[in-house]
Amino acid sequence: MSDSNDNLAAEKKLLAEANQKPLLSRWGTFAKLSGPGWLQGAITLGGGSLGGSLYLGVIGGYELLWLQPLMMIFGVLMLSVIGYVTLSTGEKPFRAINKHINPVLGWGWLIAAMLANLVWAMPQFGLGTAAIQQNFEILDGEYGKYICAVLLFVICAAVVWAYDSGNTGIKVFEIILKVMVAIVVLSFFGVVVVMASELKWGEIITGFIPNPGLLFEPASKFTEVIAQSSDPDYWREVILSSQRDKMVTAAATAVGINMTFLLPYSMLRKGWGKEHRGLASFDLSIGLFLPFFLATTCVVIASASQFHTKFDEGLLDASKATPLTKKLEGAYTKNLEAFQAQLEQGAKANETDKQLAAMLVSRDADQLAGSLEKLTGNKTVSQTVFGIGVLGMAVSTIIILMLINGFTVTEMMGAEIGGMKHKIGSILPGITGALGFLFLWGDADAKFMLVVPTSVFGMVLLPIAYFIFFMMINNKSLMGTSLPQGNKRIGLNIAMGIALVAATIGAGYSIWAKAGLWGVLAVGVFAGLAIVVQFTRQKPN
């Protein structure tokens, strides 16, 4: 404990000295002391980000490049707010919310974060297994997926328990995560570098200009193809519905509600306080936004260039079939049969209809990596490079989900961090993730499609956290002298309001599209309970 206190005191002294230096020198010091931001980067660069980026490129091409960075900017803003609140007050957020805001919201936040951990772990095991079996081409026998699941669980549990061992474990853990995040980013950056000569950079740059109209109209290249089909209205509705789902998926995976729980507790675990507020903002920018932006942008670019409004010719002409074609046949047949079923009796799909059915099939990790073979000239190189990035995403995300769940369990049960209850709570996402992948969703047509339902689930929960943080930063009894004042407070509230509205729109669409009236009713009951408690509870002094 003495060594830990000495290290923290030295860190605070170093920060005080850095604040008197020029900006670049200050950033150099911040880079050495960063940590929690990289934890955020490790969890967001997972199956959700990869799957969301992959499908965003397939359905929207370069036109949706703006979506993920914009949602991440909103996410970094809200995470910075909860970081500022936590470092200013020194209070654990769950207890602060229950005391100063509303216990229904506090418990809703905690339970939502825990559920997200348990659910999100499932596609990560699917993603890791897909990388091992499809990209590395090993452990693909009868019991291969069981071996993969066990290996992923053991490795991730060992790393998390090392983190719980104390100060040394934390440092080792953060170094491992920084390396894994770097591997992920470099792997996908390398993929785009290899493709650079074939890319349309003008369209790519234009794709970063926000275009909310894509919520109501298919991407422009699809519009041209739809016009040539035998039933434009059908294909427009199918593509637009898929496009909206993929946009929600990508938005939800930028910042999940469980990430909002991780940040403040990881800061408190490191002993950070008011002196670390500048470091915290830098940490989120360098450890979260930059890796996320580079990795997801590269995946969208690679996916869009290879798949957007394109199809495997072997699906329409058997003489051109390849080994990859066979993996797409089931989804192609399903798309075509769905279209054929709504046609008048005796009517048949034309050539464009068949092409659209082929364009909309679900791709997987090996299809994206396999499409690079003609560019790398070597199957082993393309599959290995891509596989390293995919596996790094899966492992780092499982680790962080387990870490977050340990925090949620200790808060729920009032237990001590590092104790047995904390350790048991930490391994729960590993258990649900492995079992869920093996017995619930493990046989999905495309393992990456596990991302879509879990992303929608995450999007529904996110506004809960954003609303709580909005209330906390404006609560005088909680913030005291650290309450933002003047123009700074006005500007912050406007920015937070925009982020909250964006998250609420995404959640609203998800609730209505996937749960209908029952979903709306569930939200209404939760909101009603929060209102009743707000007016009946005893206010803090």
Residues 204 and 58 occupy one common structural domain: yes
The residue segments making up the domain with residue 329 are 312-360
pLDDT at residue 95 is higher than 80: yes
Q: Which two tokens stand for residue 122?
A: 């499932």
User: Does the residue 16 lie in any domain?
Assistant: no
Residue 301 and residue 329 share a domain:
no
* pLDDT grade for 454, boundaries at 50, 70 and 90: low
Query: Which residue, 416, 85, 427, is CA-closest to 267?
Result: 85
Does a structural domain hold residue 19? no
Domain-embedded: residue 215: yes
Q: What are phi and psi of 207, to 5 degrees?
A: -65, -15
CB atoms within 10 A of CB 72: 24
Confidence check: pLDDT of 208 > 90: yes
Look up residue 458 and give its amino acid: G
200: left (phi over 0), alpha (psi -120 to 50) or beta: beta
pLDDT number for residue 381:
67
Provide the pLDDT for residue 447. Answer: 45
Tell me, yes or no, whether 371 and 351 share the same domain: no
Outline where 90-166 has alpha helix (H): 93-96, 103-130, 144-163
User: What CATH code is carried by the domain that includes residue 121?
Assistant: 1.20.1740.10
- Is pLDDT at 446 greater than 50 in this prediction? no
The number of C-alpha atoms within 13 Å of 238 and in the hemisphere containing its C-beta is 19
Give a yes or no: residue 164 inside a domain. yes
What average pLDDT does this structure show over 527-538?
Answer: 84
User: What is the DSSP code string of 227-295?
Assistant: TTSS-HHHHHHHHHHHHHHHHHHHHHHHS-HHHHHHHHHHHHHTT--GGGHHHHHHHHIIIIIHHHHHH
> Does one domain contain both 257 and 123?
yes
Question: What pLDDT score does 12 carry?
Answer: 76
- Per-residue pLDDT of 283-299, as tens digits, reads 888 888 888 898 889 88
Structure tokens at 15: 């920060």
| Predicted pLDDT at 149 | 92
Same domain, 457 and 339: no
* Pair (383, 353) in one structural domain: no
Residue 539 has pLDDT above 80, yes or no: no
Q: Given a cut of 70, is residue 47 above it in pLDDT?
A: no
331 and 402 share a domain? no
Judge if 166 and 266 occupy the same domain: yes
280 and 351: one domain?
no
Q: Are residues 262 and 407 in the same domain?
A: yes
Tell whether 231 and 344 lie within a shared domain.
Answer: no
Same structural domain, 353 and 298: no
Asked if residue 460 belongs to a domain, the reply is yes
- Whether the CB-CB separation of 362 and 446 falls below 8 Å is answered with yes
Q: Total structural domains in the chain?
A: 2
pLDDT more than 70, % of the chain: 87
Look at 462 and 213; give whichever has higher pLDDT: 213
In a domain, 152, yes or no: yes
Residues 50, 297 contacting (CB under 8 angstroms): no
- Distance CA(232)–CA(239), nearest Å, equals 10
Look at residues 300, 335, 360 and tell me which one is the last residue of a structural domain.
360
- The per-residue pLDDT for 260 is 83
Average pLDDT rounded to a whole number, residues 299-328: 85
6 occurs within a structural domain = no
In a domain, 142, yes or no: yes
For 345-419, where are the alpha helices, taking DSSP H only?
Answer: 351-359, 365-370, 373-376, 379-413
Q: In 236-250, which positions are buried (b, 16+ CB within 10 angstroms) versus exposed (e)?
A: bebbbebbbbbbbbb
